[in-house]
Amino acid sequence: MGDDKSRSFGNIENNSFGSNINLNGDNVNQINTETNNQITTALEEVESEIAEIPNNDKQFEAKMFYKSLKEHIEKNETSNVRRCLSKLKEIIGSTAGIVTIAKFLGIDIDI
């Protein structure tokens, strides 16, 4: 018969797999939710740090970079994420949130 070695899966949407699974095919979107949860927590930490900035001008500037940071993370724009993290680091320092975001996105920022 033929050499067709393809396999067919039914609908596997909304299933949980281990962290080391790789599915190939059309329209496959794999997301590591553990990493996403850690980035979400880190973003919340950065937002809290920004809220504690006593200087209104610096706080406003930090909020702008924070908003941009979130947008660039969603779009997976690494170079823009790096730029926002660097600016935020200048304003609030090397916080745990900034370091966590950089680590999980594979971004090297001077700490």
Non-local (6+) Cβ contacts of 19 within 8 A are 32, 34
Mean per-residue pLDDT over the chain, rounded: 81
For residues 37 and 70, the model is more confident at 70
For residue 93, the model assigns a pLDDT of: 94
What pTM does this model have?
A: 0.68
Which tens digits make up the pLDDT trace of 21-59? 555 555 555 444 455 788 999 999 999 999 999 999 999
Q: In this model, does residue 76 exceed pLDDT 70?
A: yes
**Residue 99's pLDDT band (boundaries 50, 70, 90)?**
very high
